Chains A and B, each alone.
Chain A
Amino acid sequence: DAGVTQSPTHLIKTRGQQVTLRCSPKSGHDTVSWYQQALGQGPQFIFQYYEEEERQRGNFPDRFSGHQFPNYSSELNVNALLLGDSALYLCASSFRTPQETQYFGPGTRLLVL
């Protein structure tokens, strides 16, 4: 049973560019959440997708957008990249129940130059 997978593992971009990160949830999971983890910090919630809609959003600008596909996989898009967007981007999947437990993927390391 595959866990949460993310691609790519590493990415280097320059300021102003756009990036797309991908996530495949754990088998049986229908909800995907995205987190940003800056160096030396705890993960910060970006948004969550359920039934192909953004269910909840954290304090991130509109440059951060996402999508969920019918097979529950998800993409995170970041436009107009800033140096400060350099971070580890973590995807977590879960099954929508009152006692939801999120399982994390290995992350995508993004470096913005």
Chain B
Amino acid sequence: AQSVTQPDIHITVSEGASLELRCNYSYGATPYLFWYVQSPGQGLQLLLKYFSGDTLVQGIKGFEAEFKRSQSSFNLRKPSVHWSDAAEYFCAVGAAHAGGTSYGKLTFGQGTILTVHP
């Protein structure tokens, strides 16, 4: 079974500071990995995704994430946080279709709430 752990429930950073949100996954094969962001009362917006290839993935709004197979991690980073980045961030893992019995299903972590101080 696939699972995702986001160890940090709440992170506070100052505007302009760098950010790293942690994500660890459990999956038997090569995973598909995603980061989504959710503003209060809203749906989820896709920030970036990893399917294969280059392990450093660039996303929207200046975010990037690095896939580290040896550590089963897919941490999200941003070099300089803006006040508008305050939101809840979710890491998710999906399965490849070929040979996967759980394809289509995304498994999400508990989320990390980001607060940005001016």
- Residues of chain A at the chain B interface (Cβ within 8 Å): 4, 6, 31, 33, 35, 41-45, 48, 50, 55-56, 58, 90, 92, 94, 97-107, 109
CB neighbours (8 Å) of A33 from chain B are 104-106
The answer to whether A104 touches B45, judged by C-beta atoms less than 8 angstroms apart, is yes
The answer to whether A42 touches B97, judged by C-beta atoms less than 8 angstroms apart, is no
With A98-B97, A100-B94 known as contacts, the answer to whether A45 contacts B43 (CB < 8 A) is: no
Give residues 61-98 of B contacting A (CB, 8 Å). 90, 92, 94, 96-98
The answer to whether B46 touches A101, judged by C-beta atoms less than 8 angstroms apart, is yes
The answer to whether A99 touches B43, judged by C-beta atoms less than 8 angstroms apart, is no
The answer to whether B104 touches A90, judged by C-beta atoms less than 8 angstroms apart, is no
> Size band of the B side of the interface?
20 to 34
Pick from B45, B46, B105, B111: contact of A45, CB below 8 A.
B105
What's the Cα separation between A33 and B104 when bound, in Å?
8
The answer to whether B108 touches A56, judged by C-beta atoms less than 8 angstroms apart, is no
CB neighbours (8 Å) of B92 from chain A are 42
Return the chain A residue nearest B102 by Cβ.
A56
For the complex of A and B, the 3 pairs showing the least CB-CB separation, nearest first, are A42-B108, A104-B44, A106-B43
What's the Cα separation between A21 and B6 when bound, in Å?
30
CB neighbours (8 Å) of B34 from chain A are 101
What's the Cα separation between A52 and B49 when bound, in Å?
27
CB neighbours (8 Å) of A106 from chain B are 42-43
CB neighbours (8 Å) of A56 from chain B are 102-105
What's the Cα separation between A106 and B108 when bound, in Å?
17
What's the Cα separation between A45 and B3 when bound, in Å?
12
